[in-house]
Amino acid sequence: MRIQSVILGIIITFQGFTRAQTFIYKVADFFQNPIEYRNPFQLTPFEIKVGGSLLSSSAIGFDSTETSLKGFNQLQNRFIQSFEVDIAKYNLLGLALPQNFIDFQTGLGFKYSAGLVNQGLPKTWIQLAPGTDEQLYFAPRLIEGNINQTVAFQWSKHFYNYFQVNAGRAYISSYRTREGDRLLKQNGWTCSVALGMKYLRKIDFNFKESYGIEFFYNFSSFDNFKDSHNISPIENLDFSGFGISLTFSMINGGNATQGDVAKELYKSGDYIAAKANFEDFIAKNREHPRLFKARWMIEKCNDLMAFQHVELARHFIEVKNYSKATQYLQMARKSHYESLMPDIDSIYQQIEQWWQTSMDSLIRINAIDQAEEFLNKTAQLKIPNTDELKQLYMAEIYFHRGVVFTEYEIWDKALSFFDLAIKLNPQIRERIEPYLSKIAYGYINDANLAVEKKDINMALESLRQATEIRPEINFLTRDHIENLEQGLQYLREQAAVEKLRNAVDETRRIPAQTSFRPVLGTTKKQMEKEFGPPSYRKSLQTNQNQEYELWIYKTEKGGDILYYFSNDKLTKIEKHESKQF
């Protein structure tokens, strides 16, 4: 009971983990970039911004409400030109939280802002710098060093928007002389926010050029200017205001990857190619933040690939590439989608119909070799429910081969193929019966020819084979077989007598003195090489190309040794003692 509880707990824990993982995947999938598998922005080596802003008409604070700077309300006098450089902006957050939905870049910046024109001072104000005769001008200038944080969102291959916050320390001066000396200085903290859009060029490169436009707002206000000589009624200056800049930068990242190619293929329904591209994407991007999604997509491709396999099978059926069609059908059959089974079965029926039509056509025109080759080749297609048909077609091929050998009176070959046909299809025996009768009577005819040529062994063999094929003709062959067996010894003796009589005037041929002892299987060539030519030689060749031969050698004691050959091989040895005639 305790073990069951532990197992149940493990199962529940695993299911809970799986559900939690699925939930996390869905949340992460919700926050996906339009270029889902893009490489995040990593490094911006530098960014240059050139622009300007307008100071408020009330930006200057005086020591008296009755004091004012004449002409300051004109736009050219309130326009502030700016030049800004950001350097070494890097995606530090990506090291701790890998993701590519939005990009966070942290960097350092330097900003220079100054008035467009040097505005002359009212005549009632002090006109010259203390201790000099240099003319004073109202020419505000701000020099700032800051740290900045950029949040970028790339919504296409070429465009992205960003939001930037700058915070830093600035040094300001309001007066300058013609020679460039600065007076009425102060320093303080500054802050600005910016919203911009950029266009990316050369998107296939690691580092891309970006051109854009930026709208910003400065929060910069300075009080209590250092005016030890009391040369100006100005007490504070508010540098806050809206502005606009044109930007140029080099940026690393932001390019689409093979994962995005795979995603498009997935959307188009090409799950096979999508899977291959996702796998390649994973192999080449081991640290990419969307690897989990790519693996998830591979599982979805595997799940939906069966639908594409069916479509590909249909395509290859149309172009008559049945081998490819069956390959895709075999993969589609592994799917758990029951709705695909009718389509798969329908396509298999088309393949089976083509296969049967092709086999029937080849057999009909008696192209047996081509039919067997086609049958063996298409066996690799593994067409369902065709095993029985394959046996029937193979039996038909064996039957036709048996018929051909019967017509050529090669009885043993014909019987061999007929036996194979019956083994595969017992019902075909009815068609084979007439040919078996022809073969049986062919053996009887061979037996008659053998008798005429006094080849009793051959005659016996032919009769026995005929009886074995057609047992019902045993009554015809039984007496012949018995008579031939009884006369076999007589014929042997007659052959010996004939040989002896013919050899009366001839030199008796006794085998040469040798240690050679023939055994069954010895060839005629070996025998003649060791013993020389025989005293007597008798040969017979049947219609089935079977060759039988009898050799007789004399012994030193006057006896005979009979050697029987079949197709050049020694098959029997008989020894006879010397007889007087």
Domain architecture of the chain: domains with CATH: 39-255 (2.40.160.20), 259-359 (no CATH)
Q: How far apart are CA 560 and CA 534, in angstroms?
A: 11
**Amino acid sitting at position 330:** Q
pLDDT score of 281 = 93
Q: Once rounded to an integer, what is the mean pLDDT over residues 317-341?
A: 86
* Stronger pLDDT, 512 or 577, i.e. the higher one: 577
Q: How far apart are CA 527 and CA 521, in angstroms?
A: 11
The pLDDT-based confidence of 437 (bands split at 50, 70, 90) is confident
Q: Does the structure show a pLDDT above 80 at 341?
A: yes
Report yes or no: 176 and 132 within 8 Å, Cβ to Cβ: no
Q: Does the structure show a pLDDT above 50 at 551?
A: yes
The pLDDT-based confidence of 473 (bands split at 50, 70, 90) is very low
Q: Does the structure show a pLDDT above 70 at 454?
A: no
Report yes or no: 351 and 385 within 8 Å, Cβ to Cβ: no
> Order of strands, edge to edge, in the sheet holding 547-554?
536-541, 547-554, 560-566, 569-576
Q: Once rounded to an integer, what is the mean pLDDT over residues 104-123?
A: 91
Q: Is 39 helix (H, G, I), strand (E, B) or coil?
A: coil
Q: How far apart are CA 218 and CA 189, in angstroms?
A: 11
Lowest-pLDDT choice from 132-146, 276-290, 337-351, 500-514? 500-514
Q: Is 351 helix (H, G, I), strand (E, B) or coil?
A: helix
Q: Does the structure show a pLDDT above 70 at 491?
A: no
The pLDDT-based confidence of 22 (bands split at 50, 70, 90) is low
In this predicted model, what pLDDT tens digit does every residue of 61-77 receive, in sequence order?
887 777 878 878 888 88
Instruction: Tell me which residue of 92, 21, 20, 93 sits closest to 293, measured CA to CA.
Output: 21
The pLDDT-based confidence of 507 (bands split at 50, 70, 90) is very low
In this predicted model, what pLDDT tens digit does every residue of 182-241 receive, in sequence order?
888 888 899 999 999 999 998 888 899 999 999 999 998 888 888 777 888 888 888 888
Q: Once rounded to an integer, what is the mean pLDDT over residues 91-109?
A: 89
pLDDT score of 228 = 75
Q: Once rounded to an integer, what is the mean pLDDT over residues 311-324?
A: 89
pLDDT score of 505 = 39
- Percent of the chain scored above 70 by pLDDT? 80
Mean per-residue pLDDT of the chain:
81
The pLDDT-based confidence of 555 (bands split at 50, 70, 90) is confident
Report yes or no: 72 and 285 within 8 Å, Cβ to Cβ: no
pLDDT score of 18 = 47
pLDDT score of 504 = 42
Report yes or no: 535 and 553 within 8 Å, Cβ to Cβ: yes
Lowest-pLDDT choice from 337-346, 520-529, 570-579? 570-579
**How, if at all, do strands 536-541 and 241-252 pair?**
unpaired
pLDDT score of 461 = 63
Q: How far apart are CA 489 and CA 431, in angstroms?
A: 42
CA 348 remoteness from chain centre: 24
pLDDT score of 31 = 59
* Stronger pLDDT, 474 or 149, i.e. the higher one: 149
pLDDT score of 459 = 56
Q: How far apart are CA 260 and CA 281, in angstroms?
A: 9
Report yes or no: 509 and 532 within 8 Å, Cβ to Cβ: yes
Max CA separation in the chain (angstroms): 177
Q: How far apart are CA 289 and CA 97, in angstroms?
A: 9
Report yes or no: 122 and 67 within 8 Å, Cβ to Cβ: no
CA 162 remoteness from chain centre: 41
Instruction: Tell me which residue of 245, 221, 251 sits closest to 84, measured CA to CA.
Output: 245
Report yes or no: 553 and 575 within 8 Å, Cβ to Cβ: no
The pLDDT-based confidence of 389 (bands split at 50, 70, 90) is confident
The pLDDT-based confidence of 141 (bands split at 50, 70, 90) is very high
Report yes or no: 325 and 295 within 8 Å, Cβ to Cβ: no
The pLDDT-based confidence of 506 (bands split at 50, 70, 90) is very low
